[in-house]
Structure 1
Amino acid sequence: MFLRPLFRIVPDGTKIAFMRGRFLGLLVSALLSSLSVVLFFYPGLNLGIDFRGGIVIEAKTPGPADFAKIRTALAGQRITGAGVQRFGGPDDILIRLENPKSETATQASADRVRAALAQAFPGTKVMRVDAVGSSVSAELFRNGMLALAISLVMILAYIWFRFEWEFAVGAVVTLLLDITKTIGFLAITRLPFDLVMVAAILTILGYSTNDKVVVYDRVRENLRKYKTMPLRALIDLSINETLNRTLGTSMTVFLASLPLALFGGSTLSAFAWTMLFGIIVGTSSSIFIAAPILLFLGEHRLRKDAHAPRPAKPTAARLKGGT
């Protein structure tokens, strides 16, 4: 005897007509992605130290940080152009310096920052010091973008191998829209775009692909099961049948990421907030973007048998008279 779940997010046997909103879903997605592309160029991404180069110093002051006092102390150490900001608690500060010209200059700049912090707030603890040169940052950025491109190509090849080409095109187009929306989210929130964010985007791609494969797999099963059902009704049926699984997985990942976003510190918090956004976008795009694209591409290809005219049944006269 099988154990039944304690509760379901949506009741069994739902008959929600998702494809009625297919035009609205595609229109909203196109607008958001277009806006995200604009935000990518202006104001642009807040490139982190991995891609911009420079020095990042994270420190914790004995009490609430006085930024005017810190900037005055940095100026006294001949440090100009430093960015000072709060992150986390009122005693957590982050100092960004321009890219040094040599390793010796990097160490000297870090030592001067330590001296300035000790002068402004005795007892300040330097938690970490990260430094990346300009040539290394350019290479990291190039490799990060290459990783995203290769991942999309591999996803396209995998879905094309497993399903028909209509499924592959629908999935990759939807994933591209998911990526652009995530880029727009990073541009608006000004979260640092570094290697951690590349990992977050790759994680979102993997999660979103898995979600779309689940829906597509049910569509493929129902194509074999219901030979004459119109594709629009069949896609609605498939989404409703996988809705509990889709929402259950999304809620599990969402609830696992939420504590990291709230209490995970600067690095983990940025990763987790991006993941939370990606979960929402990836789940909704499987229903309102990937499925409508599949409907438009496959309506007259995946249902050839349903649209083809059936052969006429032989009449009694033809049976009696032969040819």
Structure 2
Amino acid sequence: MKLLKLVPEDTNIKFLKVRVPFFILSILLTIGGWVAVATMGLNYGVDFAGGQEIRATFTETAEAPVVELRETLTALESVEDPIVQRFGGPNEVSIRVKLPPEAEGNPEFANQMTNQIVEAISVNHPDVRIDGVDSVSGKVSGEFRNDAALALLAAMMMVAIYIWIRFEWQFGVGALFALFHDVSVTLGLFALTQMEFSLRIIAAILAIIGYSLNDTIVVYDRIRENLKKYRKMPLPELLDLSVNETLARTVMTSLTLLVALLPLLFFGPASLFGLVAAITAGLFIGTYSSVYLASPLLIWMGVTSDSFVPQETETDIQEKKVLGKL
């Protein structure tokens, strides 16, 4: 039986022909991601924002009364700036409130605040069911944010150092730029959609870094092999050849991941939606950056056809002269 091939063996797509427009697009997407984060902000979950989160379901109501809940909670003296959002189904909500300074290190105060909120909601909505309560102090949430930022920076720097050692410094810079692009676009998507940004999303971004790195290394490894094999081939043509030769592997890897991610995205629990959505988006972003960022950057950073050919030392030249006289 003939095997199914999603990518023909003689594929010859001219990726590098449009490298300049796509590079400009990538720069704009990177800047746009950070502009969105700066202007719209991230919708921090309790992990990063601190406070009390109450997840509730209205068992006998088709849609949760978000506006009424917000008005009810605003009327409470102990509650400041309540955030009420649909979470999961139309009749499910997430209620987030800040904890006052006196609640720091005082679990009883937080419990009393939760009971007060639940009682206020139950008066007008007896069908409410509390599904869960999470509480994180302001100090702990600040530590979470700092640790998460350090984890992302450390991951990208270690990736750059690894590729620098394995290949050359230009490859390390190319990989670092591609990873920075992937993280920036992902953060921008979360700022635009205002999906909850929690520790789960940090795990998703680290997974994106790992996938993008894996794809970039596969392409870089083929580029290095072809640089040794085709000494006289122009670099843009060699990069196109390398990307096309690894295209079948890239497509199969991406499709395999999508087969696992799409059912979770559409039918999985609401608590995992942000995580799965981030990884799914990162799958496409990481593949794009490996092809249109990591590879073309090598041209602009001076990689040539003899980059991996050992340079002759003066001793080698003298030995050749001696052997030529014999």
**Shared fold, TM over 0.5:** yes
Cα distance in 1, alignment partners of residues 308 and 71 from structure 2 = 75
Taking the aligned partners of 2:33 and 2:71, their CA distance within structure 1 comes to 38
Map of 1:223 onto structure 2: 227
Kept in 1: contact 2:99–2:137 (CA 8 A): yes
Q: Give how far 1:9 is off.
A: 2.2
1:72 Cα deviation (Å)?
Answer: 4.9
Partner residue in 1 for 2:171: 167
Task: Quote the offset at 1:52 in angstroms.
Answer: 1.0
User: Number of residue pairs matched?
Assistant: 302
> Matched residues in 2 for 1:109 and 1:30: separation?
46
Q: 8 Å contact 1:54–1:133 — kept in the other structure?
A: yes
Deviation of 1:136 after TM superposition, in Å, equals: 0.5
Identity of aligned residues (%): 39
2:23 to 23, 26, 44: 26
- Alignment-derived partner of residue 181 in structure 1: 185
Contact 2:54–2:96 at 8 Å: present in 1 too?
A: yes
Q: Tell me the equivalent position of 2:45.
A: 48
- The DSSP-based 3-state class of the residue aligned with 2:295 is helix
Q: Is the 8 A contact 1:88 1:265 kept in 2?
A: yes
Contact 1:100 1:133 in 2 (8 A): no
Preserved CA contact (<8 Å) 1:76 1:116: no
1:211–1:246 contact (8 Å) kept in structure 2: yes
Structure 2: which 5+ runs fail to align?
Answer: 310-326
Note the 1:209-288 alignment, pairs <5 A: 209-288=213-292
Task: Work out the CA distance in 2 between the residues paired with 1:251 and 1:73.
Answer: 47
Q: CA deviation at 1:165?
A: 1.4
Cα displacement string for residues 103-126 of structure 1 (whole angstroms, at most 9, x for unaligned residues):
222111111122123222224221
> Which residue does the alignment assign to 2:96?
96
Structure 2 counterpart of 1:286, which letter? S
For residues 148 and 176 of structure 1, what CA distance do their matches in structure 2 show?
10
| Counterparts in 2 of 1:220 and 1:300: CA distance versus 1, 3 Å | closer
Q: Alpha-carbon deviations, 1:161-215, whole Å to 9, x = none?
A: 2111111111111111111111111110111222111111101000000000011
CA change 1:111–1:225 in 2 (3 A) is: same
Letter in 2 for 1:163: F
RMSD, matched Cα: 1.9
Residue in 2 that maps onto 1:319: none
Once the two structures are superposed, what CA deviation does each residue of 1:119-176 show, in whole Å capped at 9, x if it has no partner? 2222422111011111101111001111111111110121112111111111111111
**Could you tell me whether the CA contact under 8 Å between 2:231 and 2:306 is conserved in 1?**
no
Change (3 A) 1:4 1:147: farther
C-alpha distance 122-170 of structure 1, shift in aligned 2 (>3 A): same
Moved more, 38-47 or 237-246: 38-47
- 2:181 is equivalent to residue 153 of structure 1: no
Cα distance in 2 between the residues matched to 1:209 and 1:260: 24
* TM-score (normalised: structure 1): 0.88
The CA deviation at 1:285 is: 0.9
Distance 1:35 1:73, change over 3 A: closer
8 Å CA contact retained: 1:86, 1:94: yes
Paired residue for 1:317? none
Q: Normalising by structure 2, what TM-score?
A: 0.87
Mean Cα deviation higher: 234-243 or 216-225: 216-225
Residue 106 of structure 1: aligned partner: 110
Which structure 2 residues correspond to residues 57-136 of structure 1 after superposition, within 5 A? Answer: 57-62=54-59, 63-64=61-62, 65-74=64-73, 78=77, 79-101=79-101, 102=103, 103-136=107-140
| Cα deviation digits, residues 260-317 of structure 1 (max 9, x gap) | 2222233210111111111111001111111100122244474587xxxxxxxxxxxx
